[in-house]
Amino acid sequence: MKVYDQLVNKEDTLSVVGLGYVGMPLAVAFAKKGLIVTGFDLNENKINQYKKGIDPTLEVGNEAIKNSNIEFTIDEKALKKSKFIIVAVPTPINTDHTPDLSPIIGASKIIGRNLSKGSIVVFESTVYPGCTEDVCIPILEEESGLKCGCDFSIGYSPERINPGDKVHRLENIKKVVSGYDDETLEQIQKVYDLVIEVGTYPVSNIRTAEAIKVVENSQRDINIAFMNELAIVFDRMDIDTNEVVEGMNTKWNALGFRPGLVGGHCIGVDPYYFTYQAEKMGYHSQVILNGRIVNDQMGKYVAESAIKKMIQVGKAPKNARVAIFGITFKENCPDCRNSKAYDIIKTLNEYEINPVVIDPWADPEDVKKEYDIDLIDLHNLDNVDCIIIPVAHTDFKNISLDELKLLYKISKDEEKVLIDVKGIYDLEELKESGISFWRL
């Protein structure tokens, strides 16, 4: 009998290793289809939260976790009873921008130690082409004493979910799948087809599937870098970038990208995985790395534009009360890792400005741990000189300009400065508001 049949007949278990933004929705989706699911994570605190039915990622919601029959565990031995293991551990970069493979190496060791014959291991973590076969297979073989292709098999299926996005969900995003051989691919496809309503997209080998993921994110990164470069130049030309972009977007083949801060642990990270491997092949990236340089400096650029604006209207930046709206890496998502809003704060700090930070989505404890910042509540905010909005949370978009004005210093002589990074306010309304504004 094949793995797929064993899973649907409940004779075997499906395990997810790494229960974060990617792993948790997968575990819940398979559990909803009636499979026996084990969710394994090294983070005991997280596992305890899941056991209590709390979803800190806000991706699936507390009810879905409470109603699922997932066995949450930090005990790696629970993986022994699994014939289908999905790996969704982080793949960050080191400070020198090289891949930090320690989580995926660690996960491979754990799985290898607990691997049973006839199993399929599918990696979902974003890696460079060749990583799964060159790095993970040898570890799995060494730890298990089993041979890939004979005793067990592997596959790779990149994840495309977009945290905070309520439209593009796991079930309705086409899923690329690949396998070590045709038989494995067929099994992997059948298993994922249980939960992916729009179906899977098989490719001929694992390297191709790995490449698809890193380059789709690199493509986004480069396009945003192009828009950011335009924004820097248009600022010097006194042209509103958003107006240009809206004009461009009226053409049938416009790409629709906008300037912005590229944070998080996907778009700003994955290109480095690709360029790292390209470098090993003797090719030094000309386009992708330069895009990274442009995007990585945008936080500093925004902060310095705010300082310039304050000086232009007669404020002494050092004495100004500055408020930052949003510290998460993107809108409507609680994930604050690798936040580019923090780059704005760091640059302001260099000018001895200590802004206050508001974010209704971020977990105050996470923000304190990650950045040593105490969030304040919007209701406690007043008397500000300058508001910088780097994150377009719906909560911020719902604040009208009249409401926003109430947060500034009351004196008529005090100019109100607004840095509307994402252009959430209408240009004409901004012009009429009496606020001195700048937008990217």
Residues 6+ apart with CB under 8 A from 309: 386, 417, 419, 436, 437, 438
Q: Residue 284: count other Cβ atoms within 10 Å of its Cβ.
A: 8
The nearest distance, CB 169 to ligand NAD, in angstroms, is 12
C-beta nearest to ligand NAD: residue: 20
What's the CA gap between 332 and 424, in Å, rounded?
Answer: 14
Q: How far apart are the first and last CA of the chain?
A: 58
Residue 266 appears among annotated catalytic residues: yes
User: Interaction with ligand NAD in 261-290: which residues (CB under 6 A)?
Assistant: 265-266
Q: Does 175 bind ligand NAD (CB under 6 A)?
A: no
Burial class (CB in 10 A: 0-12, 13-18, 19+), 410: exposed
Q: Select the residue interacting with ligand NAD from 68, 126, 157, 200 (CB under 6 A).
A: 126
Q: Which of residues 376-395 bind ligand NAD (CB under 6 A)?
A: none
Q: Is residue 163 within the footprint of ligand NAD (CB under 6 A)?
A: yes
**125 lines the binding site for ligand NAD (CB under 6 A):** yes
Minimum CB–partner distance for residue 120 and ligand NAD (Å): 18
Sheet holding 36-40, edge to edge: 71-73, 36-40, 13-17, 82-87, 120-123, 153-156, 175-179, 200-202
Beta bridge partners of 240: none
**419 has which bridge partners?**
388, 438
Q: Smallest distance from the beta carbon of 199 to ligand NAD, in angstroms?
A: 19
Rg of the Cα atoms in the chain = 24
Question: Looking at beta carbons only, is 23 or 423 nearer to ligand NAD?
Answer: 23
Binds ligand NAD by CB under 6 A, chosen from 18, 155, 179, 263: 18
Minimum CB separation from ligand NAD for residue 46, in Å? Answer: 5
Question: Is the distance from CB of 123 to CB of 178 less than 8 angstroms?
Answer: no
**Closest CB to ligand NAD among residues 78, 381:** 78
Return the number of the residue (330 or 416) whose C-beta is nearest ligand NAD.
330
Q: How many residues are recorded in the chain?
A: 440
Taking CB under 6 A as the rule, does residue 53 contact ligand NAD? Answer: no
Structure tokens at 328: 């998460």
Beta bridge partner(s), residue 40: 17, 73
Tokens of 439: 């937008």
Q: Residue 277 — φ and ψ, nearest 5°?
A: -70, -35
Q: Which lies closer to ligand NAD via its Cβ, residue 53 or residue 103? A: 103
Closest by Cα among 213, 214, 248 to 230: 248
- In sequence order, which ranges of 91-238 are alpha helices (DSSP H)? 102-113, 131, 137-144, 182-193, 206-237
Q: Is 23 in the site for ligand NAD (CB under 6 A)?
A: yes
Residue 256 makes CB contacts below 8 A (sequence gap 6+) with 249
Q: Which of 266, 333, 336, 386 is catalytic?
A: 266
Q: Which of residues 80-109 bind ligand NAD (CB under 6 A)?
A: 88-91, 103, 106-107
Instruction: Report the nearest approach of ligand NAD to the CB of residue 221 (Å).
Output: 13
CA distance 306 to 302: 6
**Selected range binding ligand NAD among 30-38, 157-165, 218-226, 341-349, rule: CB under 6 A:** 157-165
Min dist CB 47 to ligand NAD, Å, is 9
- Which of residues 23 and 260 has its CB atom nearest to ligand NAD in the complex? 23
Query: Which listed residue (19, 191, 209, 391) binds ligand NAD by CB under 6 A?
Result: 19
Binding of residue 328 to ligand NAD (CB under 6 A): no
At closest approach, how far in Å is the CB of 264 from ligand NAD?
A: 7
Distance CA(72)–CA(50), nearest Å, equals 7
Nearest to 127 by CA among 280, 26, 272: 272
Near ligand NAD in 32-51, by CB under 6 A: 40-43, 46
Q: How far is the CB of 402 from ligand NAD (least distance, A)?
A: 35
Residues 409-438 that bind ligand NAD (CB under 6 A): none
**Interface with ligand NAD by CB under 6 A: which residues?**
17-23, 40-43, 46, 88-91, 103, 106-107, 110, 124-126, 159, 161, 163, 265-266
> Catalytic residues, which ones?
266
